[in-house]
Structure 1
Amino acid sequence: MDTEKHTITMLVENEPGVTARVSGLFASRGYNIETICGAPTANPDMSRITITTNTTPDQMEQIMKQVRRLVNVIKVRDMTGDDAVRREMALICVKAMASHRSEIQRIVENFRARIVDTGLNHYIIEVTGRLEKIEALMRLLEPMGIKKVARSGMLALYREPG
């Protein structure tokens, strides 16, 4: 069966070890986590964990069942469809020689990204958006020389009605 990328989000109790139990479940079943992001919510007693993974539909069904059984998990949703807003943030450190600075600035502006740090020979660029946007920006910056990249992992929320 073909695999496809899925985004799973879960509300969990904000307690030590919950993220380890969730990621341990994936590891013990042989499911790969591409990205994982966990952070507190507006309610200090809960956190949201968002995971992206490539799985078959049958594996996805099993993942959802198994995650729901974990003690500290309050709610689990598959955020793969069009009803969700999905975004990622990346910090990209790129070589910025004098001959390339104006081109890098133009590219950054076209992607609605921003330069957050400037050095004699580098820029650090912050970009937020869909996975495809971040990868397209990185492809355009690659010829200048990407020195390092840090990515947040996927975040997702369902759209509110109306």
Structure 2
Amino acid sequence: MVWAILSIKVENKPGILFKVTHLFRSRNFNIDSISVGVTEDKKYSRMTITTIGDEKQITQIVKQLDKMIDTIEVRRLDVNNSVYRELVMFKIKVSKPEDSMEINKLASAYSAKTHDAKKESIIVEMTATPHQISAFEELAKKFGIKEMARTGITALEREEHEH
């Protein structure tokens, strides 16, 4: 099984998200994360979908996505030649005053921002790779994670350099 990042440029009109997710569902294929947003040209949106499957399944879903009428371009991004990030927000429990200081240090070590520090909780905002987010989450568990919200991965492939 492999982890794949799919970048799908589609026409920016109602119903496209449903069509794409329905394609996955009808093929009994799971979406691990999805993010959608308008591109530099407002006529188009870019969907970034991450999924896990074998090579044959991934190839098949790319071909099926490419056949959709509203699809402009489908690419499977090379994980080693792409920049991919996810935004996550954690609401972390503060049990004692020194917890706030420790959570702030932890956030700083991961280049995360803290918000809304209250007596009983603090919100940490982090933009990172899924691996970095998981590492932070493991360390934050000792305080108690009250809530967590993740956006899904967004990605762009790096430019090819000519030699």
Pairwise same-fold verdict (TM > 0.5): yes
Residue number in structure 2 paired with 1:103:
102
Query: Which residue in 2 is equivalent to 1:48?
Result: 46
Aligned partner of 1:86 in structure 2 is 84
2:158 maps to: 159
| 1:34 matched residue in structure 2 | 32
Contact 2:78 2:157 in 1 (8 A): no
- The answer (yes or no) to whether the contact 2:114–2:124 under 8 Å persists in 1 is yes
Do 1:84 and 1:157's aligned partners in 2 also have CA atoms closer than 8 Å?
A: yes
Q: Distance in 2 between matches of 1:107 and 1:141?
A: 8
> Residue 53 of structure 1: CA displacement?
0.5
Distance (Å, rounded) in 1 between the aligned partners of 2:77 and 2:117: 36
Once the two structures are TM-superposed, the CA of residue 161 in structure 1 deviates from its matched residue by: 3.6
Match of 2:125 in 1: 126
Q: 2:142 and 2:49 mapped to 1: Cα distance? A: 31
Instruction: Tell me how far apart the structure 2 counterparts of residues 50 and 156 of structure 1 sit (CA, whole Å).
Output: 7
Q: Which runs of 5+ in 2 are unaligned?
A: none
Contact 1:95 1:123 in 2 (8 A): yes
Deviation at 1:120, TM superposition (A): 1.8
Separation (CA, whole Å) in 1 of partners of 2:12 and 2:114: 34
For residues 20 and 78 of structure 2, what CA distance do their matches in structure 1 show? 19
Local SS of the residue matching 2:65: helix
The answer as to whether partners of 2:89 and 2:126 remain within 8 angstroms in 1 is yes
State the percentage of identical aligned residues: 32
Task: For residues 122-150 of structure 1, give each alpha carbon's deviation from its aligned partner in whole angstroms, at most 9, with x where no partner exists.
Answer: 11100011111101011000010000000
Deviation, 1:42, is 1.2
- Could you say which residue in structure 2 is the equivalent of 1:115? 114
Count of residue correspondences: 160
Which sections of structure 1, spanning at least 5 residues, go unmatched?
A: none
Q: TM-score, normalised by structure 2?
A: 0.95
1:64 is matched by which residue type in structure 2? V
Q: CA deviation at 1:81?
A: 2.9
The one-character-per-residue Cα deviations of 1:52-108 (angstroms, maximum 9, x if unpaired) are: 101100001100110000010000010143111111110000012313111111111
Contact 1:8 1:80 in 2 (8 A): no
SS of 1:155's equivalent in the other structure is: strand
Q: How does 1:20-31 map to 2 (within 5 A)?
A: 20-31=18-29
Q: Which residue of 2 aligns with 1:4?
A: 2
> 60, 68, 71: which is aligned to 1:70?
68
